[in-house]
Amino acid sequence: MAAKWQIRETDQVLRQFKRLGDQQKKQYREAVKTLASSDDPRKLGTFKRGKKYAAYYYELGRSFRLVYQVINEEMIILLLDVGDHKEVYGKD
């Protein structure tokens, strides 16, 4: 049986979500469901240390990313950022 993770969204994610198009919102929702029902959400993303975050990056499309951290002890996935890869990686 798959582990059930709690999803917590930061204010940053909530603000960014409002700016997304319909297709991106759909991809975001599907990704959140996938992460929440995963046995190990770390395996679904790629861990990277960037200018903004040391976190997992989940690819939602060609240049669209969801950034999250996993808090194992509490079974929480903390969603940090969502948007174009240039925005979430903190690059020009």
Report the candidate in 52, 61, 53 with the shortest Cα–Cα distance to residue 21. Answer: 61
Comparing 1 with 26, which gets the higher pLDDT?
Answer: 26
Q: Residue 3: its pLDDT value, please?
A: 55
Q: Residue 1: its pLDDT value, please?
A: 46
The pLDDT tens digits for 10-48 are 999 999 999 999 999 999 999 999 999 999 999 999 999
CATH number of the domain to which 17 belongs: 3.30.2310.20
Q: Would 2 be classed as within a structural domain?
A: no
Q: Are 7 and 79 a contacting pair, CB within 8 Å?
A: yes
Q: Would 25 be classed as within a structural domain?
A: yes
The pTM score is: 0.89
Number of domains in the chain: 1
The pLDDT tens digits for 51-85 are 888 999 999 888 899 999 999 999 999 999 999 88
